[in-house]
Structure 1
Amino acid sequence: MLDTSTQAEDLLRRLEDAGVAADASPRRRAEYSYDASNYRVEPLAVVFPRTVDEVVGAVAACRDTGTPLIARGAGTSMAGNAVGPGLVLDLSRHMDRILGIDEGAGTVDVEPGVVLATLSREVERATGGRRTFAPDPSSKNRATVGGAIGNDACGNHSVRYGRTSDHVAEIDVVTSDGARLTATETALRATDPYDAGSAARAAELTASLTALARENLGAFRLELGRIPRQVSGYHLQNLLPEQGFNVARALVGSEGTWAVVVGARMKLVPKPASALLVCLGYDDVVDAARDIPTILEFSPAAVEGTDEAIVATMRHRRGPDSVLGLPAGRAWLFVDLDGDDPAEVRAEADRLLARLAENGRLVAGQPVPDPAARASLWRVREDGAGLSSRLASGGESWPGWEDSAVAPEKLADYLADLRVLLAEHGLTGVMYGHFGAGCMHIRITYDLRSEEGREVFRAFTRAAAELVVRHGGSLSGEHGDGRARSELLPLMYSREVMAAFAESRRIWDPAGILNPGSMTDPDPLDANLALAGVPEREWRTSFDLRPAGTASLTDPWTHAVQGCIGVGRCRADSGGVMCPSYRATRDEKDSTRGRSRVLQDMVRGARTVEEGWRSEEVREALDLCLACKACSTDCPAGVDMASYKSEFFDHYYRGRIRPLSHFSLGWLPRWLKLTGRMPGLVNAVLATPLGKLASAAGGLTTKRTLPRFAGAVEWRREVAEAGARAAGSRSAQGPGAGPVEGGAEDEVVLFVDTFTRGFRPEVAGAAARVLADAGAAVACSAEACCGLTWISTGQLGTARRLLSRAAEALDDGTDRPIVVVEPSCAAALRKDLPELVHTDQAKRVAARVRSFASHIAGRIDEGWQPAPARPVPEQAVLQTHCHEYSVFGSAPQRSALTAAGVHEVLDAGGCCGVAGNFGFEAQHYDVSMKVAENGIAPALRAAGQGAVVLTDGFSCARQVDQVDPERTGLHLAQVLDPGPAPSRRPHAAVPHTTHTTEFPLQEAEEVP
């Protein structure tokens, strides 16, 4: 319900008068009530400024109404720096341009919303790889320049390159009194020299800041800037005479409490010609930390660390191949060495390993030259915050004391004492971080849901602050103080320095509206905790959403939707697959995080989202979720939004009229039983104008060509002919012939799913031939339905009945692999079956399920060599189905193509945009095509004319047809087919009696 307070009404009216669009909807305010911290503070409204003038207008409206203003980038702050009451300015959505790159001057001119990884990539492209932008925090593929300036972000390579404050030349800001100023390395001036008002304000600020530094010379010199990662507090030492009155550096790390950053000139650095990662294994993190002084003697660019709990979670969530190149140990350091000569860099790595061996703490160490292994190790480190929040071993951990720092040579002693302190409070800490810079990221097992647990949180945090100060350290080494640590700053600084902090803030923001609750006059560190005050309620669900080790969990739905901790990997524009709708719209509401935040407000009964399962705001937030399931793998915290969407829709539409597409597409297996009896007539009708009328009547888009329906018997003929071919091949080898060379004699069950039977029967025959060629005796089953279309449309009662029947049909008392042709159906049987059908039988069947690609990749690993009948092209475009990616991984298809002789594989690298019913629905077609532009469309344009397009997923093949009608997407089985090149045969009636002993067939009704 809209906040109707006088302040909110006045604010919105003034924003409208200034021509600034604001969104005060309940859903939007829920999305922006959180960042990546433990805190929740509901704003009055959100603005997405496009220009500096709009920022000025928004600031004026807040100043005139006394409304707090919070500037925000990607919202990945772990200290609560990016939430607050009042108006949130999201500068990441529109103000994200790179305005100019000056290689000669070594600077780049940017707007505040530019993503750090994008900036580095574009700088390297423009300079031919000679220069780059250095700061690379783990959130670099979604964190913004403005956010990095606000927090003084550092990153993995801070040992070499320092903090963001080391890379600022000039910063453009808007102050709370409306002045537009530019802070430089020696001065503060009006951004526009003809702006008399701003020029006067610049002079006034300069005089006040100069006086502040002069009055506190001794305190600033003694207390500030003592260690590399002293981020806590304001960086007022940069105003000292010996620092040249560097206002730009002083402004960095002010966390949006001094001014709103609207632009910057950032410094560039040379990019090393050669780099080598050295991975070091230790018994524990303390042993690793004791070797840091030795490692630093070798001038590394990075020294990062992680522990075994994070590695185990990565492998559990993304498969055993997701972490490569690790030596023995239970804690690891990743050391980046670089230079101009690769041979010299390798020699330096050998010298480092020899020195560490002499120290006696190293368990094992090795260089990691392979790019894939190197990338996998860095991803473990970069996803540390999310991975440690929900570990594979069970339980959860939270930030709050995740960012302390000491001098690197004191790190080991500090960690040893910190572990004792954790034990004294009954807590466990998962440790990782910037070991080379003395900065630790620690996720701790607080119980923030109970009053007792919150008391422990407060007591421990204060004790930890006292501990780090005793070790000469800083409360924050990167994330800033925010709501998490500002209350504790008096433990670290004298009254004199704290008074200077407060005065500097008053000088910049006399109106007192910028980011209240942080830095000076802070809110208590245990106020506004997001997990506090969530009512206990039994949310009945169809999915079993309990994570491992939580069988007694009383409220799995609440626990599940609270899994999102806000790290925002779903907002990345590259890498992985999630979140396709966000990549298309760039709107927070369409990110996995945005949807999670609305669901979190739903379970807490917040006034922004009040109606629970009936909430229109939640339905709206979930509308553009493609249910691709990529988040269940890509999200470091393991958020499975596809399941949450299905569960919510199941409740939301009870007693309500469903969209027509829930019947036309959601009941597709039922309709295919009818169309299979008269495919010729159906296809003929759909080819006329009546086809578009039928599409519109079913809630489908008329812009997409409907697929051609197959006859009910076509797939049987394909499989039977494959069986005959396999039998003939065996006969030709003579009596007693064994399996084909390179294969292994065993048996598999080929599951021919509804999509394959109804639309691509030729794929069934190809799959049977490939499996037989790989040395397996193949039994064929079509007697079950995975219920996928009912799952994706939230009709879970029917889905559960179908999956129960599938489990009964497929549980034959053997451990034979069940190889499923369509990857989305394979994923449903592997993952959704045991989550919806809570029986041991369901678990047994799910454990046997393989996608076709994953099974064939296993055969290849065992020594089988594909022998396709058709010529193998030099190049292939690989469009991995999202469900295959999320459940079985992205490597199997690539390895199979390589084994078959394809030399170049162009990975489309994302969701195709159809995603089952989504891309066929009228209201989603345009977004579907925008999603295609993130991956498959440019990949098709870049591919040669002779390239094969691999689309194991039926929906992916349909998008290829739509994007490039001149190309045809093929299933991996068709590419590897050892028989004749497949062709689509005309529909014809074939008796349902054709079986062979090689391919025994089972069949029954698959829908109610």
Structure 2
Amino acid sequence: MTAVGASSLLPVLNNHPHSHERFGAVEELERVLRAEMRGEVRFDAGSRALYSTDASNYRQVPIAVVVPRDAADVEAALRACRSVGAPVLARGGGTSLAGQCCNVAVVLDFSKYMRSIQSLDPDARVAQVEPGIVLDRVREAAELHRLTFAPDPATHSRCTIGGMIGNNSCGVHALMGGKTVSNIRALDVVLYDGTRMTVGATSDEELRAIVASGGRRGQIYQSLLNIRDRYADLVRQRFPRIPRRVSGYNLDELLPEHGFHVARSLVGSEGTCVTIVGAQLDLKPSPPYRRLVALGFADPFLAADHVPFVLEYKPIGLEGFDGMLVDFMLRKQLAVEDVKLLPEGRGHLLVEFGAWSAEEADLQAAEFVLASQSLAPQPHAQLYSPADAARVWKVRESALGATVFVPGEPHGWEGWEDAAVPPARLGSYLRDLAELMRDYNYRSPMYGHFGQGCVHMRINFDLESEEGIRKYRDFIDHAADIVLAYGGSLSGEHGDGQARAALLPKMFGSELMQAFREFKAVWDPLNRMNPGKLIDPIEVYQPEENLRLGAGYHARKTDTYFSFSGDHGSFAEATLRCVGVGACRKAGSGTMCPSYMATQEEQHSTRGRAHLLWEMLEGGVLKDEWQDEHVHEALDLCLSCKACKSECPVNVDMATYKAEFLAHYHERHGHRLRDYAFGFMDRWAHAASYAPALANLPMRLPPAASLVKATLGIAPARTLPRFASKSYQKGIARSRTTGAGERVLLWPDTWNNYFHPPALSAAHSVLASAGFSVETPRQHLCCGRPLYDFGFLKQARSYLERVMRTLAPQIDSGMPIIFLEPSCASVFRDELLNFFPADERAQRLSRSTRLLSDFLVERAPHYRPPQREGARILLHGHCHHKSVLKMNAEVDLLRATGAEVEVLDSGCCGMAGPFGFEKEKFAVSQTLAERVLLPAVRSASAETLIVTDGFSCREQIAQNSSRRAVHFAEIIAPR
């Protein structure tokens, strides 16, 4: 974000959430930070808004955001904060669910620069890493040696190791290898007072030597020793002996039987004690052969009752979920085909076995299936192939997305989502909790780590009225009593943060609470580390404070171009859809979020943009509403790929939000010449079709081409595509019907019609050979896709109205309309219905829209494409093809040619219509292309056929390699 003067900030709270002391030295803090750090220092309103919330119900605007480059930068940042008494909050991936990652503090974000594996020793089974590294990067490196970092929460694709340590994360395979605390060998930490030290397990001899050496380190160890000796018996008595005790500080790790392990005592301290700048991780063996069995019971309570039986067979993973979760998934159209693989039942257990040979894994699974049939009542059992197992795991991993924004359901929220009890008592606990929820008229799916007694929920709390908030607080008090009656922990995975901190006295009692305060004071005597969260010397924040919504909240009403019917007609409600889980911050696979993959910046993630839009409408930090430059800057690098609409667990639709924002933004800020040039490309292409040679002439003359590029702000390295010598429409007899079969309309999109007509000609031939009667419109028609990229929504709506008027007879008759360009087809599947949600003709047009491959599979089941036996095809999917339309039919037809087809997991090609041509976005465009696509193209053999349906994608390939990609239609055309 572009920095603004710190003098514009209001005074913010120092020291303690309930203190009357004010911290007003913001200008001095900014000056010192900028002088002492090499990393990035951000005091602007946009950055502060970005980091004001995490994945929880809470919101607190930070003082500033600091992005350190290394440990020395962290020390400098702490030194600066110390000079003015500013509190500090170290933050990982920002996916915390209990509010521990938002505070009125200087936020340290390690995820951009401090994300390396410094060493990995497979013999010693240890890795040294920086705190900002994402878990999946560690696991990928370890798996090369058949090792793993055992904890693997559902956020494994974006959670950072530092965040996992702060939170004591767990996940599916904590059953195999334990929580994070059990997998930490040593930590390199910096204290608020500037002390830097490495801590780990400590023998009695080492402990005596450290204490005798004196200094700050000796003082710390002596104080920890005193705490241990004073509270050891209470810790042994009061700490629940269950697999998932995450609540409180890990004072048990200081006991002699645990080796006075100082590093592990700091795990789960949620940034309230130290700042971690390095970690030594214990790596555990990772069985390479996995087998999955699913059991189906009549209800989730019976499934939970049988957890002890399952554990006898020593699985490496044991997950469970209820029928309501499956119902919600089907209602939201999530993993619909995968759900069909589940055995019959309303409560399911997923049981995973791991072994060092396929035979051993098969034997374990088979013995378990056989044994399960002796249970009464007998569950339905299903053993899966590895391919089907991946699909069933997808059902479990889609759980969070299934619990939020469910049609016909009130919103579900965290707040009581991860308590844990002894696994043997899980069924009884869930029955009692379900009864309590019925008493409060609450409901939620149940899912999670049944094998360790930890179950997740997302309950329909009312967090927008005083009565609803009182009811929420009353419920969690009673729920805590139930958990503690079963010998459980208030948190079994997500931490205490603010959501559960005030309930900890119930669990631990006053003496252990005093021990926790003393432990924090050893490390942070001034209470500057994430104050008010988890443990505080005075008083923690209450669960009902700092709510992002809160009593009296109402989603702001604003006039919009789109209907947002899926969000009750409210743009504000749409921006609230983001629940902060950060799936858009993954970088290893998929398409979402390309600009984050390129920049590693929160503001360029789907989550960051959604949060900024919400803040914009709230008007607290961002003051300029639709004209806010922070929001505009964040949206400027959005490629409108639509991947978030399908890959985001809650289907945030940033392409639509961007178009809506730009339409309002440009009501005051005029459009650039380039916007008109690219946005109305269909008009210029149509005009050029009358004299294409003349239209192409400027780009064939270097001085003229340079002038055009400079005038329009086009990257010098780009070449504008040439108009075809004859458009597709001019190359055939207009509106002439060919063939005698079912009538279909072949859509002459701007890109293939005016620039690459061979693709349309090939599609025409394919349809005719498949027995269809092919029509082509007489008039120039356009879906208006480029208009959305520049906020020309009035014009885009007009384009669609013209299409519906012109093609009314074909639309009303239900004639299939066949598209070649995925971005054009997506307009009629998506934007059309957002403009005209109740228009019957729009509904019919949307239903009639088909890509060529989908149409052939659905309506021509006997069609067989020409054979290409022995050929090799490299297939790259256009973003809209993958996200809105799906590619299964195209892959199946290409493989039906007999060719070997490799589908690239290449994400966005980076061109994205006009995006890749714009000078200021060229670097991002190239970064995305070089991530997977271009290396794959360059390494492909000369005989390999490169296929992609997106005109932009073909341009990106052509402009960065010697290869030329072709459209799917050209591959299957009759030869």
| Both proteins in one fold, TM over 0.5 | yes
Pair 1:542–1:959, CA change in 2 (3 A):
same
Q: Is 2:161 the partner of 1:155? A: no
Pair 1:921–1:831, CA change in 2 (3 A):
same
Deviation at 1:431, TM superposition (A): 1.5
8 Å CA contact retained: 1:667, 1:789: yes
Q: 2:318 aligns with which of 303, 319, 324?
A: 303
The SS at the match of 1:933 is helix
Deviation at 1:314, TM superposition (A): 4.8
Determine the C-alpha separation between the residues in 2 that align with 1:494 and 1:681. Answer: 85
Q: 2:586 aligns with which of 572, 580, 601?
A: 572
Which residues in structure 2 correspond to 1:862-901 (within 5 Å)?
A: 862-867=861-866, 871=868, 874-901=871-898
The SS at the match of 1:216 is helix
**Counterpart of 1:819?**
818
Pair 1:854–1:574, CA change in 2 (3 A):
farther
**Counterpart of 2:445?**
430
The amino acid across from 2:846 in the alignment is A
Which residues in structure 2 correspond to 1:225-240 (within 5 Å)?
A: 225-240=240-255
Deviation at 1:564, TM superposition (A): 0.5
Q: Is 2:608 the partner of 1:594? A: yes
Determine the C-alpha separation between the residues in 2 that align with 1:666 and 1:541. Answer: 20
Determine the C-alpha separation between the residues in 1 that align with 2:297 and 2:951. Answer: 47
Q: 1:475 aligns with which of 483, 486, 490?
A: 490
Q: Figure out how many residues of one structure are paired with residues of the other and give that number.
A: 945
Deviation at 1:453, TM superposition (A): 2.2
Determine the C-alpha separation between the residues in 2 that align with 1:73 and 1:345. Answer: 36
The SS at the match of 1:337 is strand
8 Å CA contact retained: 2:946, 2:966: yes
**Counterpart of 1:447?**
462
Determine the C-alpha separation between the residues in 2 that align with 1:320 and 1:580. Answer: 26
Deviation at 1:712, TM superposition (A): 5.7
* 1:167-218 residue CA offsets vs partner (Å, 9 max, x unmatched): 1111110011111111112269999x9x999972221111110110100121
Determine the C-alpha separation between the residues in 1 that align with 2:49 and 2:669. Answer: 25
Deviation at 1:22, TM superposition (A): 1.2
Please say which of residues 673-682 and 808-817 is displaced more in the overlay.
Answer: 808-817
- Return 5+ residue gaps in structure 1 as ranges: 728-744, 980-1008
8 Å CA contact retained: 1:718, 1:764: no
8 Å CA contact retained: 1:723, 1:768: no
Please say which of residues 488-497 and 537-546 is displaced more in the overlay.
Answer: 537-546
The amino acid across from 2:843 in the alignment is K
Please say which of residues 308-317 and 756-765 is displaced more in the overlay.
Answer: 308-317
Which residues in structure 2 correspond to 1:520-559 (within 5 Å)?
A: 520=535, 521-532=539-550, 534=553, 536-547=555-566, 553=568, 556-559=570-573
Deviation at 1:396, TM superposition (A): 2.2
Which residues in structure 2 correspond to 1:507-518 (within 5 Å)?
A: 507-518=522-533
Which residues in structure 2 correspond to 1:134-149 (within 5 Å)?
A: 134-149=150-165
Determine the C-alpha separation between the residues in 2 that align with 1:174 and 1:722. Answer: 76
Determine the C-alpha separation between the residues in 2 that align with 1:589 and 1:647. Answer: 18
Q: Is 2:511 the partner of 1:501? A: no
The SS at the match of 2:124 is coil
Deviation at 1:343, TM superposition (A): 2.9
The amino acid across from 2:544 in the alignment is D
Deviation at 1:643, TM superposition (A): 0.1
Q: Is 2:923 the partner of 1:926? A: yes
The SS at the match of 1:790 is helix
* 1:406-453 residue CA offsets vs partner (Å, 9 max, x unmatched): 111111111111111111112111221111111011011112222232
Determine the C-alpha separation between the residues in 1 that align with 2:238 and 2:847. Answer: 59
Q: Is 2:916 the partner of 1:916? A: no
8 Å CA contact retained: 2:894, 2:901: no
Root mean square deviation, CA, Å: 2.4
Please say which of residues 802-811 and 637-646 is displaced more in the overlay.
Answer: 802-811
8 Å CA contact retained: 2:187, 2:199: yes
Which residues in structure 2 correspond to 1:787-802 (within 5 Å)?
A: 787-802=784-799
The amino acid across from 1:898 in the alignment is R
* 1:216-239 residue CA offsets vs partner (Å, 9 max, x unmatched): 121100112511101000110111
TM-score normalised by structure 1 residue count: 0.90
8 Å CA contact retained: 2:57, 2:99: yes
Which residues in structure 2 correspond to 1:282-301 (within 5 Å)?
A: 282-301=297-316
Q: 2:76 aligns with which of 42, 53, 57?
A: 57
8 Å CA contact retained: 1:138, 1:383: no
Q: 2:716 aligns with which of 702, 705, 712?
A: 702
Determine the C-alpha separation between the residues in 2 that align with 1:218 and 1:300. Answer: 34
Determine the C-alpha separation between the residues in 1 that align with 2:863 and 2:294. Answer: 33
Q: Is 2:30 the partner of 1:12? A: yes
Which residues in structure 2 correspond to 1:64-103 (within 5 Å)?
A: 64-103=83-122
Pair 1:974–1:322, CA change in 2 (3 A):
farther
Please say which of residues 68-77 and 771-780 is displaced more in the overlay.
Answer: 771-780
Q: Is 2:375 the partner of 1:389? A: no
The SS at the match of 1:973 is helix
8 Å CA contact retained: 2:565, 2:834: no
**Counterpart of 2:639?**
626
Determine the C-alpha separation between the residues in 2 that align with 1:361 and 1:805. Answer: 62
The SS at the match of 2:502 is helix
The amino acid across from 1:234 in the alignment is Y
The amino acid across from 1:897 in the alignment is L
Which residues in structure 2 correspond to 1:903-982 (within 5 Å)?
A: 903-964=900-961, 966-979=962-975
Q: 1:3 aligns with which of 5, 9, 14?
A: 9
The amino acid across from 2:113 in the alignment is H
Pair 1:719–1:209, CA change in 2 (3 A):
farther
**Counterpart of 1:124?**
143
- Return 5+ residue gaps in structure 2 as ranges: 12-23
**Counterpart of 1:760?**
756
Determine the C-alpha separation between the residues in 1 that align with 2:647 and 2:928. Answer: 17
Name the % identity: 38
The SS at the match of 2:60 is coil
Determine the C-alpha separation between the residues in 2 that align with 1:148 and 1:94. Answer: 17
* 1:302-344 residue CA offsets vs partner (Å, 9 max, x unmatched): 0112344544555645564455632233343221111123233
Which residues in structure 2 correspond to 1:789-868 (within 5 Å)?
A: 789-811=786-808, 812=810, 813-838=812-837, 839-858=839-858, 862-867=861-866
Deviation at 1:800, TM superposition (A): 0.8
8 Å CA contact retained: 1:225, 1:237: no
Q: 1:714 aligns with which of 728, 746, 755?
A: 728
Determine the C-alpha separation between the residues in 1 that align with 2:971 and 2:214. Answer: 69
Deviation at 1:392, TM superposition (A): 4.6
* 1:42-61 residue CA offsets vs partner (Å, 9 max, x unmatched): 00100011111111111122
8 Å CA contact retained: 1:803, 1:837: no
Pair 1:782–1:306, CA change in 2 (3 A):
farther
8 Å CA contact retained: 1:182, 1:188: no
8 Å CA contact retained: 1:386, 1:565: no
Deviation at 1:153, TM superposition (A): 0.4
Determine the C-alpha separation between the residues in 2 that align with 1:405 and 1:661. Answer: 57
Pair 1:810–1:196, CA change in 2 (3 A):
farther
Pair 1:526–1:949, CA change in 2 (3 A):
same
Please say which of residues 470-479 and 311-320 is displaced more in the overlay.
Answer: 311-320
TM-score normalised by structure 2 residue count: 0.93
The amino acid across from 1:483 in the alignment is Q
The SS at the match of 2:669 is coil
Determine the C-alpha separation between the residues in 2 that align with 1:190 and 1:664. Answer: 72
* 1:881-935 residue CA offsets vs partner (Å, 9 max, x unmatched): 1111111123233222211122141414200001112112222111111111222
Determine the C-alpha separation between the residues in 2 that align with 1:591 and 1:351. Answer: 46
Please say which of residues 649-658 and 889-898 is displaced more in the overlay.
Answer: 889-898
Q: 1:222 aligns with which of 237, 250, 261?
A: 237
The SS at the match of 2:773 is strand
The amino acid across from 2:651 in the alignment is G
* 1:9-47 residue CA offsets vs partner (Å, 9 max, x unmatched): 222122123235410111111110011111111001000
8 Å CA contact retained: 1:677, 1:711: no
Pair 1:497–1:756, CA change in 2 (3 A):
same
8 Å CA contact retained: 1:751, 1:782: no
The amino acid across from 2:759 in the alignment is V
Determine the C-alpha separation between the residues in 1 that align with 2:244 and 2:729. Answer: 65
Deviation at 1:516, TM superposition (A): 1.0
**Counterpart of 2:14?**
none
Deviation at 1:360, TM superposition (A): 3.6
Determine the C-alpha separation between the residues in 1 that align with 2:140 and 2:252. Answer: 33
